[in-house]
Amino acid sequence: MVESNGIRSIAILGGTGKEGKGLAYRWAKAGYRVLIGSRKEEKAEAAAEDLKVLLSNPDASVQGLANPYAAAAADIVVITVPYKAHRPTLESLKDVLQGKILVDVTVPLVPPKVTKVQMPPSGSACQEAQEILGEGVKVVAAFQSISYENLLEDGDANCDILVTGNGRASREVVLTLVADAGLVGWDAGPIENSAVVEGMTSILIGINKKYGVTSSGIRITGVPRPE
């Protein structure tokens, strides 16, 4: 069993969606206990079984639970819900998330103009999450710039992960999880910088559409890459 910085289990709220499934796949392969969260427990259970098939491992440590139970049982929590579900999901889980690190993958996309950067009044979805949850939760933004297609491919994803959020120690925990997922991550600074990272997603969606691809990403150059 993997244990990085005391993290053994990861709950993924919205884990039934594409991005959540991709992250669950990577972390389950790395040996973490993965808890798939959903508003409906039966949907989470079905997603967990699908993931075991994808992993070709019926005994993989993957379980589907309703969101509150997944969040309560995990060492660290990841939220990958669509932006319209972001606030209500967090408000309903505020109490159970206290004392934990929350990795926010949410991007404030506003259909139909998803290729246009549209930030909320708080500055970013990550900052909004921090306002909702209060100082008892360390909110860190990550994984906004990588597509689920890249997550579900084995090997080098050819896409780097920028990690922003409150507290260097919290960012370091998340950077370790990035590395355990087989990805390259970079400390991109405080939570205010999450606006730039989240906004990049709209730009990448536009690039995908313009050039007929599905998985454009970003890479940091000029810095020695981790071995």
Q: Which domains are present in the chain?
A: 9-211 (3.40.50.720)
| Helix, strand, or coil (residue 130) | helix
Q: State both tokens at 192.
A: 């205010």
Tokens 């491992």, located at residue: 57
Mean pLDDT of 55-76: 95
The yes-or-no verdict on residue 163 having pLDDT over 50 is: yes
Q: How far apart are the first and last CA of the chain?
A: 22
The yes-or-no verdict on residue 8 having pLDDT over 50 is: yes
- In this prediction, residue 226 carries a pLDDT of 81
Mean pLDDT of 104-124: 95
The yes-or-no verdict on residue 83 having pLDDT over 80 is: yes
Do the beta carbons of residue 11 and residue 70 sit within 8 Å? Answer: yes
- In this prediction, residue 2 carries a pLDDT of 55
Mean pLDDT of 7-23: 93
**pLDDT (tens digit, 9 = 90+) per residue, 184-227?**
999 999 999 999 999 999 999 999 999 999 889 999 999 998 87
Compute the mean pLDDT over every residue in the chain, rounded to the nearest whole number.
94
In this structure, what are the phi and psi dihedrals at residue 121, rounded to the nearest 5 degrees? -55, -30
Provide the whole-model pTM.
Answer: 0.94
The yes-or-no verdict on residue 123 having pLDDT over 70 is: yes
Exposure string for 14-29, b = 16+ CB within 10 A, e = fewer: bbbbebbbbbbbbbbb
CA–CA separation, 21 and 10 (whole Å): 13
| Helix, strand, or coil (residue 103) | strand
Tokens 């049982």, located at residue: 73
pLDDT band at 5 (very low <50, low <70, confident <90, very high): low
